Amino acid sequence: MGDPLRPEGELTRSREALLAALREEGIRDERVLAALARVPRHEFVPPHLVPYAYDDCPLPIGCGQTISQPYIVALSTEALALAPTDRVLEVGTGSGYQTAILAELAGTVYTVERVPELSRAAEQKLGALGYRNVRFRVGDGTKGWPDEAPFDAILVTAGAPRVPEGLIAQLAPHGRLVIPVGGRFNQELTLVHREGGRLVHRHLCPCTFVPLIGEEGWT
């Protein structure tokens, strides 16, 4: 649904402009771009922020959390190189926007959120939008979802001081993990994967996420 102060046509034009900007910034995976075109970001932000839903910036969603910048969402998703049958773990459901992007591209998404209010709201929103391949859990995301492991891909949407060992243990042999790693306020978005029996870390870009709170995160 569009905002009465932001007609649907204007939202569509804003979304198209954002997608063009993401292409200019180097996003090349057509499946990822198509997913961003399909998922209505304006449905995942507070009503007063709908006019800014397709600006390439994070926005507050309450509970001290944010909806991530579209470029970071696109870059993170592209780095995961998802297949339609992949089982994906998301740590940090937040608004549910990134969850929806993952659900567009993967087989099943398991998403963990530590704030019950956010998890409930995201589950209701994704259900209303017709997503049936997402499972929700409230808890410490740094522990992952052990009883559903291993996962083909893991995406962490909060900044961690280090890569949680518990998440590495839940990666499938050829699994990919994308996580912001660094200080409490500034991190490097990092892709971690196994190569020849060892873990390889590749830095994607500098970023700023809310802190990952949990046993293997920040206190």
Residues with catalytic function: 68
Residues 6+ apart with CB under 8 A from 46: 59, 60, 61, 62
CB neighbours of residue 5 within 10 Å: 10
Q: Which long-range contacts (CB under 8 A, 24 or more apart) does 63-67 make?
A: 63/115, 63/117, 63/118, 64/210, 65/94, 65/95, 65/115, 65/118, 65/210, 66/94, 66/210, 67/41, 67/94, 67/95, 67/97
Helices 70-80 and 30-38, interaxial angle, to 10°?
130
Query: At residue 131, what are phi and psi to the nearest 5 degrees?
Result: -80, 125
124 and 99 in contact (C-beta within 8 Å)? no
CA 201/CA 189 separation, integer angstroms: 10
Please tell me the distance from the alpha carbon of residue 58 to that of residue 67, in angstroms, as a whole number: 5
b/e string for 85-98 if b means 16 or more Cβ within 10 A?
ebbbbbbbbbbbbb
